[in-house]
């Protein structure tokens, strides 16, 4: 009955909060303090694993064991063993015996492969703890991968593995026999690399043939050594198998056949299946020029004639193979370009094009070649596509295009000589379709009792089927499967970023939610992302600390800080000082514990002189991380006589280079800002309550809540209203989050500066690892 009465009182508080934001904030603090005291009385405890030890130098073939138990912790307890951060399965000679709250790992016969870090992890519903110890078993190396002699074709990629197990960890050396000496190999260019006991050679050539060796040692005898041959076979081969050559009558006709391969490479010429030397020896001149790559043969005719029309063959041969090259020779001009190439109609994946036949040429048109390619937004052309069609057609449907994409195309006439001149280029854009891909890498982190931060990446671009306008963020109570998701709209506009974030606010404290995201374009909505759950915090995070520069020297900066007095701040566990030097792209972090004082100092030392440093401070408790303090930029001194170049400080010219009334100025400025904020909040509260009273007569409570909070984008961009006119309808877009009245907790709205900060928890990794301060938008 007491729980029912508490729930009834909570509903009354929610109604009051909608009209009196200040009363809501006060009751929230009192409720958090009450819940915290209740949790302490119940006495639930997370586990604490007792340390355990191992043998320093165990004997191979011997036996050892580890025993793990929890010093404290509420039952039931779950005990797991890991080796090198991987779950221990039923490995040979290893077994785990668990009896209640005690677990023992036993190794019956110790081998060198048992070396590693062993971890015992104990978990209950209130937390987890773990302890690790290292087992080192000395032994000589044993083969894992032993290379042998290999043969490869020219231009193939070679990967040779040479690896062994043992402790200490074995070291591998690759060597090559040059003359009578072994030369050690190292990664010295982009083509030859040594990585993870592997020798990689990309696009092997003749010079890579030879004898290689692999040596493995770890200081314990016997060492390992092996030799093997690497043979590169280069058969006779033509890079181009078929080609068409045309020449005007009376011009020089020169035909070239270049065959790659190991010498000797011989090349023979044929015309229409007859050897050249039997056709007309006085007309044709053949020159062979052997080189390092193979043999280049050139056949020339000083003055081309109609009788030189025909099909020419080059036959190349060596010890490893033979190849053939065909050359079609036509003594004519290529055909002119087709005319009137134009687009008739465009759909989302198909376009119809038409053209007129080119003027009559000396030979008939055999076919047409339509070339088309996708043009990206940056003006870079995509892969070239070609379609060969009959010469009788003057209309064609190009299919299998991508929706919502821009294309360019030309058409070329083909005769016996080959390709003619391309026609004028045309451009067209296909229509859009609904996205077929779902957003990926959705991560949701609770950022307070009523707020959650979402981060995700756009669907693969080839599934957009047009231009993404934005995303719908759907949320509902986790156990309320019958109620569809309510949606917030995230408009991306002209942003080209594939990473997105959004703050979902006005949630219920200590409540579990189901979160999804789906994208949309002008044609409709795409599929949902994978569902992710998040539970809002049951308590409040600390308030934002204050930070200021106390002093700065050539190589140090002393920072002062103060912590506001409230219930959440009394439970602060540690402070995190974030700083970076100059234009560095990454932030560094220093953790230090709070010593029960609301005012303190911290000194950054070993800094560079005359350098700008950017700093801010956050506080953490068991519920999460606070909003950051204001960002401060300061500079270390240039010399002992010139130590006043610090950003944001107040210099007293009469103080001989010392700081003046900086702290007094900060105090006065803080009071002025606080008074201004109070006046603004009172005015907005009056207008807000008045507006709510006028709209309450015509709107249900949940619609009033949605109209009062359209959501806050991660970068403080406005979100289009749910009533925006579209040419499709999303029925999920009008569903409320829950039954009854929704709460507008203005006390938990994030300030502008916080939306530009990294918002994940101290031990979590969100989609975009870069600090958002480095990319302000």
**Per residue in 398-433, pLDDT tens?**
999 999 889 999 999 998 777 888 999 999 999 999
Alpha carbons 63 and 93: distance in angstroms, whole number: 9
CA dihedral 21, 26, 29, 32 (to 10 degrees): -80
Q: Which residues of the chain have pLDDT under 70?
A: 1-43, 54-57, 90-91, 187-188, 361-362, 377-379, 566-570, 595-596, 639-667, 690, 692-777
Name the 3-class secondary structure at 511.
coil
Secondary structure element (H or E) that encloses residue 609, with its range: none
Q: Which of 116, 92, 126, 119 is nearest to 103 (CA)?
A: 119
165-188: b (≥16 Cβ within 10 Å) or e: bbbeebebbbbbeeeeebeebeee
Cis status, amide bond into 222, omega within 30 of 0: yes
So what's the pLDDT on residue 634?
93
Rg (alpha carbons) of the chain, rounded to whole number = 38
Q: Are 618 and 581 in contact, with CB atoms under 8 Å apart? A: no
Q: Would you tell me the crossing angle of helices 662-695 and 21-42 to the nearest 10 degrees?
A: 100
Q: Is residue 341 within 8 Å of 355, Cβ to Cβ?
A: yes
Q: What is the pLDDT of residue 761?
A: 36
pLDDT tens digits for range 492-548 = 888 778 899 898 988 998 899 999 999 999 999 999 999 999 999 888 878 888 999
Neighbours of 608 (CB within 10 A): 12
Class of domain 339-429: mainly beta
**What phi and psi, each to the nearest 5 degrees, are found at residue 721?**
-65, 160
Asked whether the bond before 168 is cis by omega within 30 degrees of 0, the reply is: yes
| Overall CATH class of domain 139-233 | mainly beta
SS3 582: coil
Spatial neighbors of 278 by CB under 8 A, at least 6 apart, are: none
Angle at 214 between CA 208 and CA 217, to 5 degrees: 155
Structure tokens belonging to residue 184: 């050690």
Question: Which pLDDT value is given to residue 658?
Answer: 42
Given a contact cutoff of 8 angstroms between Cβ atoms, the answer to whether 236 and 244 are in contact is no
Give the span between the Cα atoms of 453 and 446, in whole angstroms.
6
Angle, alpha carbons 414-420-421 (nearest 5°)? 140
d(CA 470, CA 481): 26
d(CA 518, CA 454) in angstroms, rounded, equals 13
CB 9 within 8 A of CB 90: no
The CATH fold assigned to 59-135 is Immunoglobulin-like (2.60.40)
Distance of CA 429 to the CA centre of its chain: 30
Q: In what order do the strands lie in the sheet with 426-429?
A: 381-390, 367-375, 406-414, 426-429
Cα 630 from chain centroid (whole Å): 29
Asked if the peptide bond before residue 264 counts as cis, ω within 30 degrees of 0, the response is yes
Phi, psi of 695 (to 5 degrees): -85, -15
With CA atoms as reference, report the closest residue to 202 among 228, 232, 162. Answer: 232
Q: Which long-range contacts (CB under 8 A, 24 or more apart) does 381-385 make?
A: 381/408
Q: Which of 254, 324, 326, 267 is nearest to 295 (CA)?
A: 267
Span between the terminal Cα atoms of the chain, in Å: 52
Beta bridge partners of 457: 440, 499
How far is Cα 432 from Cα 522, in angstroms, rounded to an integer? 7
Look-up: residue for tokens 């700093």?
615
Q: For the domain bounded by 244-330, which CATH number is listed? A: 2.60.40.10
**Strand order across the beta sheet in which 116-124 lies:** 86-87, 78-83, 116-124, 127-135
The interaxial angle of helices 2-19 and 701-708, nearest 10 deg, is 50
Structure tokens at 380: 């870079």
Asked if the bond preceding 76 is cis, omega within 30° of 0, the reply is yes
CA angle 504, 505, 511 (to 5 degrees): 90
Distance of CA 29 to the CA centre of its chain: 39
Residue whose pair of structure tokens reads 């719908």 in the numeric block: 472
678/427 Cα distance (integer angstroms): 59
Predicted confidence at residue 556, as pLDDT, reads 93
Asked if 530 and 454 count as a contact pair (C-beta separation under 8 A), the reply is no
C-alpha 344/C-alpha 358 separation (Å) is 19
What's the pLDDT score for residue 708?
A: 31
Nearest to 504 by CA among 270, 718, 749, 172: 749
Residue 280 makes CB contacts below 8 A (sequence gap 6+) with none
**In degrees rounded to 5, what are phi and psi of residue 91?**
-80, 155
Instruction: Give yes or no for a contact between 757 and 768, defined as CB atoms under 8 angstroms apart.
Output: no
Name the segment(s) of the chain with CATH classification 2.60.40.10: 59-135, 139-233, 244-330, 339-429
């Amino acid at each position: 009955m007491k729980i029912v009465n508490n729930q009834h009182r909570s509903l009354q508080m929610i109604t009051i909060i909608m009209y009196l934001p200040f009363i809501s904030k006060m009751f929230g603090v009192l409720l958090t303090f009450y819940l915290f005291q209740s949790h302490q009385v119940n006495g639930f405890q997370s586990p604490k694993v007792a340390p355990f030890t191992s043998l320093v130098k165990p004997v191979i073939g011997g036996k050892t064991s580890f025993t793990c138990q929890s010093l404290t912790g509420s039952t039931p307890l779950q005990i797991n063993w890991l080796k090198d951060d991987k779950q221990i399965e039923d490995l040979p000679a290893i077994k785990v015996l668990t009896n209640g709250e005690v677990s023992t790992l036993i190794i019956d016969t110790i081998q060198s492969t048992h070396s590693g870090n062993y971890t015992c992890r104990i978990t209950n519903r209130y937390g987890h703890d773990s302890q690790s110890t290292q087992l080192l078993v000395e032994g000589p190396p044993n083969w894992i991968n032993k290379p042998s002699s290999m043969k490869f074709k020219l231009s193939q990629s070679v990967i040779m593995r040479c690896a062994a197990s043992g402790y200490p960890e074995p070291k591998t050396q690759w060597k090559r026999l040059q003359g009578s000496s072994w030369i050690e190999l190292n990664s010295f260019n982009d083509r030859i690399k040594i990585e993870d006991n592997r020798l990689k050679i990309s696009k092997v050539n003749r010079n890579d043939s030879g004898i290689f060796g692999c040596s493995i040692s770890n200081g314990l005898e016997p060492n390992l050594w092996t030799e093997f041959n690497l043979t590169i076979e280069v058969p006779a081969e033509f890079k181009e198998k078929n080609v068409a050559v045309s020449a005007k009558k009376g011009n020089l006709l020169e035909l070239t056949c270049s065959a790659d391969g190991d010498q000797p490479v011989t090349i023979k010429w044929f015309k229409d299946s007859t050897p050249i030397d039997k056709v007309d020896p006085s007309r044709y001149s053949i020159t062979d020029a052997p080189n390092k790559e193979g043999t280049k043969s050139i056949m020339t005719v000083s003055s081309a004639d109609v009788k030189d029309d025909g099909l020419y063959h080059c036959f190349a041969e060596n010890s490893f193979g033979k190849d053939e090259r065909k050359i079609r020779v036509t003594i004519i001009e290529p055909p002119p370009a087709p005319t009137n190439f134009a687009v008739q109609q465009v759909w989302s994946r198909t376009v119809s094009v038409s053209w007129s036949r080119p003027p009559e040429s000396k030979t008939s048109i055999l076919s047409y070649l339509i070339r088309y390619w996708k043009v990206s937004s940056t003006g870079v052309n995509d892969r070239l596509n070609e379609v060969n069609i009959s010469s009788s057609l003057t209309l064609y449907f190009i299919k299998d295009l991508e929706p919502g994409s821009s294309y360019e195309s030309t058409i070329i006439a083909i005769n016996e000589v080959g390709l003619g001149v391309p026609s004028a280029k045309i451009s067209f854009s296909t229509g859009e379709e609904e996205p077929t891909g779902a957003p990926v890498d959705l991560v949701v982190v609770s950022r307070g009792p009523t707020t959650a931060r979402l981060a995700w990446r756009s669907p693969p671009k080839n599934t957009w089927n047009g231009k993404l306008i934005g995303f719908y963020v759907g949320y509902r109570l986790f156990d309320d499967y019958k109620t569809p998701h309510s949606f917030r709209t995230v408009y991306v506009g002209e942003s080209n970023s594939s990473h997105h974030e959004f703050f979902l606010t006005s949630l219920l404290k200590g409540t579990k939610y189901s979160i999804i995201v789906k994208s949309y374009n002008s044609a409709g909505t795409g599929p949902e992302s994978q569902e992710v759950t998040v539970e809002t915090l049951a308590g409040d995070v600390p308030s934002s600390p204050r930070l200021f520069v106390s002093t700065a020297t050539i190589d140090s900066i002393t920072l002062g800080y103060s912590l506001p007095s409230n219930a959440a701040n009394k439970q602060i566990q540690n402070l995190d000082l974030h700083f970076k030097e100059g234009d560095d792209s990454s932030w560094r972090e220093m953790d230090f514990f709070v010593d029960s004082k609301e005012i303190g100092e911290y000194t950054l030392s070993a800094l560079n002189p005359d350098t700008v440093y950017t700093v801010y401070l956050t506080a953490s408790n068991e519920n999460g991380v606070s909003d950051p303090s204001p960002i401060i930029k300061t500079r270390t001194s240039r010399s002992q006589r010139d130590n006043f170049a610090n950003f944001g400080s107040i210099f007293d010219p009469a103080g001989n280079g010392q700081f003046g009334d900086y702290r007094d100025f900060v105090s006065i400025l803080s009071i002025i800002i606080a008074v201004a904020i109070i006046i603004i909040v009172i005015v907005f509260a009056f207008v807000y309550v008045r507006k709510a009273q006028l709209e309450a007569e015509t709107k249900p409570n949940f619609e009033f809540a949605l109209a009062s909070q359209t959501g806050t984008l991660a970068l403080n961009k406005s979100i289009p209203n749910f009533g925006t006119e579209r040419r499709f309808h999303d029925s999920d877009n009008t569903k409320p989050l829950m039954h009854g009245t929704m709460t507008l907790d203005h006390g938990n709205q994030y300030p502008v500066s916080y939306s530009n900060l990294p918002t994940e928890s101290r031990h979590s990794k969100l989609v975009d690892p870069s600090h958002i301060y480095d990319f302000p938008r």
